[in-house]
Chains A and B, each alone.
Chain A
Amino acid sequence: MANNHKEIVFGLYNDEEDLIRAVKEAKTAHLDIYDVFTPFPIHGLDPVLGLEESRLHIAGFIYGALGTLTAFLGMTWIFTKDWPNVFGGKPYWSVPAFIPITFELTVLFAAIGMTVTFYIINGLGPGVVNQHLDDRITDDKFCLAFDKGSVSEDKAVSLLKQTGAVEINHKTL
């Protein structure tokens, strides 16, 4: 694991608009950004950072479809093969009556599946300890971080200074 240690240099900004300007400048200067940390979601940051749109909703659709099939095929098998019964003179395979449960399980599977996927791909979960750069990032500071392994420290520091970072710090993750 020793090889995985990263030497990080990061700047803290007081305002999200300063951060977005800094990210733009870093992109113009072709500096490889390690990550950006903010106290809340910043709209307009993703395109500047060049983040692709999340595909989480596609996963959600697949989980939902799985729920639809589980519910509908499950009830179909139970009421036509495993336990055929006549309820109120209706056919064994009474599709309209299956709709509510099919809908509920679609929603249930999609919601649970997506949420679990969200935590797994983000590396988050109960008991996970992720080292973070500064305690104030979840309060009021906006952080732009560079990995000294891929960006020269001098360049990174000068960019951070130039773009108005109020603090520049180093940390090993």
Chain B
Amino acid sequence: MSAVVSPIRRPLITGNKTYHQITEDLISPTEKAPTRAWTIGLIISVAVLSYGVFCILWTIYVGIGSWNLNRTVNWGWDITNFVWWIGIGHAGTLISAILLLFRQKWRTGVNRAAEAMTIFAVMCAGLFPLIHMGRIWLAMFILPYPNTRGPLWPNFNSPLLWDVFAISTYLTVSLLFWYTGLVPDFATVRDRAKGMRRKIYNFLSFGWTGSAKHWQRWESLSLVLAGLSTPLVLSVHTIVSFDFATSVIPGWHTTIFPPYFVAGAVFSGFAMVLTLMIITRKLLKLEDYITVEHIESMNKVILVTGTIVGVAYLTELFIAWYSGYVYEQFAFFNRALGPYWWSYFGMMFCNVISPQLFWKKSWRRNITLTFLMSIFINIGMWFERFVIIATTLARDYLPSSWSLYSPSWVEIGIYIGTFGLFFTCYLIFTRVAPVVAVAEVKSVLKTGGNQYVGENATHKHHHEHH
């Protein structure tokens, strides 16, 4: 993997670290007693999660009637939240897989946390279709297995079943990829630990030794998993978009949906990565590992994908007009000027207009602005899914069956509860595992070019050796 490196390339890690210093910096957060901020965060997260669990149990006990869905708007916050969380879950794999294939070495600073975020986001997403089934105890009916119900099989022609396969495959492969990366780092934690802690981390590290042959196979495995995950991550949101695109609802039946959904997913995923990374790097003092360069690189991805999403919105509008099909035209007229006009303009402002600020380099490198922008995008992308789902359904073919929809307290509670689940998992993760991939960061320590003489040059004294 030794790529051609520019002689004036900047180092990826600042602060003139040694290998041992990297170990200290990245492992010690798992060894110290939790900080007050962490404890308070965990208490809030668990409380919010508990409320979410209560609302889920309420839904299961009372039934879907506890939600405000109706015959016209039969998908509301549930599927909006599902698509939103799945979208957020796209950045981790994009960073760790696609950037690995493109040899973007800066990914080593953020891939571990981004992959963790992916897994937790997919868990949150998966909850919604399951609860939405109404009779969650029959959820296993969606899995194809020989049974005594006929033979009765699921419909393999249905995009909803494709989704089951896509999301469960995505969760499994992301977990395998993430854990395989964690194994050598758990070994590092193990070798610094004593007593019971050492035993636990030995179990987690699978007995890793760091043998040359193991590393060789580890890299081979990582590369192939990256190669597999790349089309996988594109397929997941493509298939999610099929849930809509294969239907005959005006505003949904669009061929642009797969690429538009994938771009939107990457966009929202990077926004969530930035939200989390800006807080994490501050609290765990990781500014030397997750640098302003990282933030700027991610902001470039946000600018590109946000613009792709903007082009998709405009293309949809144009095609609706150009189609000459009155229902399609009305669907888009209704999105922008109907009863939910505010969500359409929220979406346009947050997703298309605000990221354009990032054309300016100094703004891309501004941490406060980036943090605010990431929140805006998270909100904007939620609006996008709400616009596509609820707004479209509320005004379909027959005016006599038009309806309106606003969520019940149960739906709001479940959505808030998924934040509890997400942050509970994330906070626990920051305590048990190094949030930055230790071994991978060590392997990019010396990527500074040998003619680079600026800050943190790694080859300053190179001529003094041989």
Contacts and interface: CB of A to CB of B under 8 A. Distances in A.
Q: Do A and B bind each other?
A: yes
Interface of A: 35-46, 49, 51, 54, 56-57, 60, 64, 74-75, 78-79, 82-83, 85, 87-88, 90, 94, 97-98, 100-101, 103-105, 107-108, 110-112, 114-115, 118-119, 121-130, 132, 135-140, 143
B203 interface: yes
B152 interface: yes
Contact of B211 (A35, A54, A115, A126): A35
B206 A39 contact: no
B166 A104 contact: yes
Given A39-B19, A87-B158, A132-B191, 20 more contacts: A36-B211, A39-B439, A39-B442, A40-B439, A60-B228, A64-B228, A83-B152, A100-B162, A100-B242, A103-B231, A104-B166, A107-B232, A111-B173, A111-B177, A111-B228, A115-B180, A122-B217, A125-B207, A138-B184, A138-B210
B156 A139 contact: no
Contacts of A115: 176, 180, 221, 225
Contacts of B166: 100, 104
Nearest to A124: B206
Contact of B221 (A44, A74, A82, A114): A114
A75 B155 CA distance: 10
Question: Which one of B203, B214, B235 has the greatest number of beta carbons of chain A within 10 Å?
Answer: B214
Interface in B155-193: 155-159, 161-162, 165-166, 169, 172-173, 176-177, 180, 183-184, 187-188, 190-192
B207 A51 contact: no
A90 B157 contact: yes
A104 B19 CA distance: 40
B215 A135 contact: no
A36 B176 CA distance: 26
Nearest to A37: B210
Contact of A57 (B162, B224, B229): B224
B225 to A, nearest CB: 6
Contact of A104 (B18, B165, B212, B242): B165
Interface string B225-258: 1001101100100010010000000000000000
A44 B443 CA distance: 12
A121 B217 contact: yes
Contacts, number: 184
The 8 A-B residue pairs whose C-beta atoms are closest, nearest first, are A128-B207, A140-B19, A130-B207, A135-B191, A97-B157, A41-B215, A40-B439, A100-B162
B66 to A, nearest CB: 32
Contacts of A54: 216-217, 220
A44 B2 contact: yes
Nearest to A125: B206
Contacts of B165: 100-101, 104-105
Contact of B206 (A40, A107, A126): A126
B225 A123 contact: no
Contacts of B23: 39, 139-140
